[in-house]
Amino acid sequence: MTLTAAVMSFAAVAILVTMVMALFRAARGPTTYDRILALNLFGTQTVLLIAVTGFLYERPEWMDLAMVYGLCNFVGVLAVLRFSKYGSFMEDP
Amino acid sequence: MITDVLHVIGAFFVVVGALFCVIGGIGVIRLPDFYSRCHGSGITDSAGAGALLLGLMFFAPPLVAFKLLALVAFLWVSSTVSTHSLAKAAYSQGVRIENVPRKDWTIAPPPPPAAEDAVLADAASAADPEEPA
């Protein structure tokens, strides 16, 4: 096993462990905002996992997927925040 | 030779970033309070993602390294914005800190020092930190 494969495997396992922790907080969190925070953390970890997996399989083109997923995650968190505050996506504040 | 050196430097940064990710995840589970959990998530977003993607740049060809740099810049902007708006929304909806100091001055601002004693007593009763969510 080369150095690159070993390092990327370690990073992927660490990121998966962090994703499990974020899911635990999303399932347990007392308030809605804890769940949204865990969702944000899970999305960031998914971006990192896509990047690391792209280097592990020697397909660095997956970086485009990671960038698109980061954009979707940001917009999604803001949309869920707006929904939790106003109760609707259409209503003007 | 120079490629091996670059790979060793990149491996160091990747391992440090992965450890920061795990530390932030432990903080999100273990910390007692919503705003402290924001700190744990911020560790993962800034230090973990930053160091990990910076380490991946040492393994990448130049175009992919530029994509990684753009990804780091976007993550550092968007995660701070989303965490700030999340904390602001939680505070406006009544999520409060546990184990606060005696007076939470963000609920009622402190009275001016020249105020009379009655005004001080009113402000103290208005700033009740035991207000439920």
User: Given a cut of 90, is residue B24 above it in pLDDT?
Assistant: yes
Quick one: which of A6, A76, A30, A15 has its CA closest to B12? A6
B72-83 pLDDT tens trace: 999 999 888 888
Q: Which of A7-21, B23-37, B92-106 has the lowest mean pLDDT?
A: B92-106
pLDDT at site A41: 92
Both structure tokens of A67: 């960038």
pLDDT tens column, B25-70: 999 999 888 888 999 999 999 999 999 999 999 988 888 899 999 9
Contact A30, B31 (CB under 8 A): no
Q: A50 vs chain B: nearest CA distance in angstroms?
A: 11
Best B7, B21, B57 member to test A by mutation, with max A CBs in 10 Å, is B21
pLDDT of residue A11: 93
Distance from CA of B36 to the nearest CA of A (A): 11
Q: Given CB atoms, is B100 within the 8 Å cutoff of chain A?
A: no
Burial of B122 (0-12, 13-18, 19+ CB in 10 A): middle
Residue with tokens 């040492």: B58
Alpha-carbon span B55 to B9, nearest angstrom: 7
Side chain identity at residue B26, one-letter code: I
pLDDT (0 to 100) of residue B103: 61
pTM passes above 0.90: no
The reported pLDDT for the residue numbered B50 is 92
